[in-house]
Amino acid sequence: MEAGLLAEYCSGQFNEKQLDDIPKFIRRLLPSAIVRNAVPFLGKQVSSTRPIGAILNHLALRMPTQGAQFWGELAGFTWYDWQLSRLVDRKKPRVVIGYEMACLQSFRTAKRLGIECVLDAAACHHALQDRRVPNRRASTSRVGRLIRERKDAELALADLLICPSLLSAQSYLDAGVAPERIVINSLGVSQTKFADAACRQRGGKSVLCLSRMPVWLRARILSKTLYVRCR
C-alpha cells in the first residue's frame, strides 16, 4: 500500500472507528471475538464493509449442530461476498484478490468487467481435506455440497491461485488445476537463513506451556511471559 501497488484493502471485520460509533449497550451484545478482532482504522484505503457476514460467522460457531454451523458459515461468507461484488463493480480495480468461500460473486463481477482474479487458497483442495479428515456428513450433506460447489466455482474463475505450501499446491494439481495458474507463497521462514545451528544460543532457558486453552490464548499468554522475562 505504501508503494502504491495496493489501492484498497477491504475487511469483513469491524474496524476500531466503527466500534466506537456503536452505543456501548449494543456493543456488549456482540460476540467477544468481533470486538477482539477489530482491525485498526487506517483511513479510506483500509475499509470495512458492514460486518454482518463476520457476525454470522461468529454466531455460527455457537450453533448446537455441525450442520447449523456450516449453514451459518456459508451465509456469512455469501453476505460478505455480495458486499464485495458491489465494491468491485463500483471501484473497477485492475486486480481482485479474494479469499476462498468469500469471493464467488466478486469474481463473477470482475470477469464481467475484464478484471483479473487471484484466489487466496489458504488451505488444500477440499478433495484432499475430505480424504485426510473423513467426515461423511460434512461432505455429503446439502450444505456440504454447496460449500464445495462454491469453492470449485471460485477456482474455475481464478486466473491465478496462491498456495501456502507445496502440499497445498500439489492438492490443486491433483484436482486438475494447470500448473501455470499456481503460485506458491510459502508460510514461515527460511531455516538456513534464520535458524543456522552455528548461530544458535546455547544454554538458554526453555519454556514448556501445558494448557487446554485455545491456541490463540496460549500464544498470547506465552508471548507476554517471554516479553516480561526478556526485558
What is the total count of domains within the chain?
Answer: 2
The model's pTM is 0.66
Residues 42, 73: one domain? no
Residues 13, 108: one domain? no
Determine, yes or no, domain membership for 112. yes
Residues 156, 83: one domain? yes
Determine, yes or no, domain membership for 53. no
User: Which CATH number fits the domain that encloses residue 102?
Assistant: 3.40.50.2000
Domain range spanning residue 96? 68-188
Determine, yes or no, domain membership for 202. no
pLDDT at residue 116, as a whole number:
95
Residues 111, 12: one domain? no
Q: What is the mean pLDDT of residues 24-48?
A: 64
Query: Is residue 231 pLDDT above 60, yes or no?
Result: no
Grid cell listed for 34: 468481533
Confidence of residue 1 (pLDDT cuts 50, 70, 90): very low
Kindly report the three-state secondary structure assignment for every residue of 39-54.
ECCCCCCEEECCCHHH
Query: Is residue 151 pLDDT above 90, yes or no?
Result: yes
Residues 26, 76: one domain? no
